[in-house]
Chains A and B, each alone.
Chain A
């Protein structure tokens, strides 16, 4: 049924420039997407710090981290895209942030035990770091990956503007990633401990979740109306 809706949308609205979503709603989603981009890369960089005591800081450790982040983002994109076809709204969007925050906690609290476990069983630091990265980062990063395609769905009101909106979203979330990388590697590690930064990330994710969920109730969620 949704498919019918979508195809009607595109055939009717492709030629004329229709009204998009309310400005505030757009800004909210873009801001949240920016934040998730920032946090993904911040965690990725801290991953190097977290793994170094067990597996060193050689190129293969970075290889493991980047591989696992790319894999989990790929799976996140796929899953997020699928989930976006089922009654997308801000509240569900908020649950992604909450889920990422909650699944990041074991990484902070039990990180050492997890790495001890892997270190004792896998001699080769290449596979050790790959397996440890999987345990530590796969789930939270996958959930953060779901946010990108879901954001597209929340903002796109019609086919005409779909490319422009996807472009804006890539722009803000990748800008967030760039700034997250820079801030973490240049400054945050100089000012704070690794776990302090990670707990702050959890707090920020929770704030994003609350913002999305509260505004879902407060403002008239446009996508809510759109799908019937």
Chain B
């Protein structure tokens, strides 16, 4: 029912908001997908309810460059684990994160979990995404994947959660139970990076939920983005000095992708700037979409 309403909203709002040249439109089971080009950028757009929601953009003249701040911010997790060997990414989008990671760490095994087959097709056709020997996509709900992977005893030393499209949140991927199941997939030196929200009431609830499961984490925000990236580690959090030294190590390499990693350590905060009395989100209580609406 919710899916239907979402589809209806998209249908109503998609057309007038799109600008530039639409090069592909597709209605998938989960969302309306639009690929458009303007100003030399090719963008994947999922829903356009309040303004434009670009999921991923590719700079056609410099395809390696990571266009979006939050995509670049995901690489901040490398400061806590500088050589990941098994990587799990939840949410494919245009595939820019996995493509960059596999270029940086060719030996790493990368598993991408994506629920929507249409997103994979679009990423392959328009965003130069290709599965490789070391980089595979599993078309499955992330919650189902996490439970099965746990049963099979799979582990990863770098996990990126990027399943939220801005307008609609899969609520079962934002609960303490899901985070615990994901934490169980981390190796002892594993790091989890989650692209989340920095606005609305949801910020408090989400922050408390991550705190409950992972303990203290780095709260990473940049100016001019509505995104907040949570970086949680199985190990004690490193000092700012350590983060800076690691940033230096990656500076040259990440510069190729437009990631200004040297500015990141100062933006990674330990301050708990949320309302700690907010109720954690659980499988029992999780009105994430309602909370996000009432900002």
Contact = CB atoms under 8 A, between A and B. Distances in A.
Partners in one complex: yes
B147 A52 contact: no
A55 B282 CA distance: 16
A193 B177 CA distance: 14
Contacts of B60: none
Interface in A53-78: 53-59, 62
Please tell me the size bucket of the interface on B. 20 to 34
Given A58-B115, A58-B141, A119-B147, A53 B177 contact: yes
B284 A193 contact: yes
A120 B151 contact: yes
B3 interface: yes
A189 interface: yes
Contact of A195 (B143, B284, B286, B290): B284
A70 to B, nearest CB: 15
B144 interface: yes
A194 to B, nearest CB: 5
Interface string A23-54: 00000000000000000000000000100111
B283 A56 contact: no
A53 B29 contact: no
A207 B110 CA distance: 55
A62 B29 CA distance: 13
A195 B284 CA distance: 7
B144 A125 contact: yes
Interface stretch (B50-58, B122-130, B167-175, B186-194): B167-175
A195 B286 CA distance: 12
Nearest to A125: B144
Contact of B284 (A54, A55, A125, A194): A194
Residue of B144, B148, B170 contacting most chain A CB atoms (<10 Å)? B144
B178 A53 contact: yes
Contacts of A59: 3, 29
A172 B3 CA distance: 28
A171 interface: no
Interface of chain B, helix or strand or loop or mixed? loop
Please tell me the size bucket of the interface on A. 20 to 34
A194 B148 CA distance: 24
A190 interface: yes
B172 A58 contact: no
B125 to A, nearest CB: 23
Contact of A57 (B147, B171, B177, B287): B171
Contacts of B148: 123
A220 B286 CA distance: 47
Interface in B156-198: 170-172, 175, 177-178
Contacts of B19: none
A110 interface: no
B241 interface: no
Given A56-B115, A185-B1, A189-B285, 4 more contacts: A52-B171, A53-B147, A54-B144, A56-B141
Report, nearest first, the 6 A-B pairs whose CB atoms are least far apart.
A56-B141, A52-B172, A193-B284, A190-B287, A193-B285, A194-B284
Interface of B: 1, 3, 29-30, 115, 140-141, 143-144, 147-148, 151, 170-172, 175, 177-178, 282-287, 290
23 contacts: A49-B283, A52-B283, A53-B283, A54-B143, A54-B147, A55-B144, A56-B115, A56-B141, A56-B143, A57-B141, A58-B29, A58-B30, A59-B29, A62-B1, A120-B151, A123-B148, A185-B1, A189-B285, A189-B287, A192-B285, A193-B284, A195-B284, A196-B284
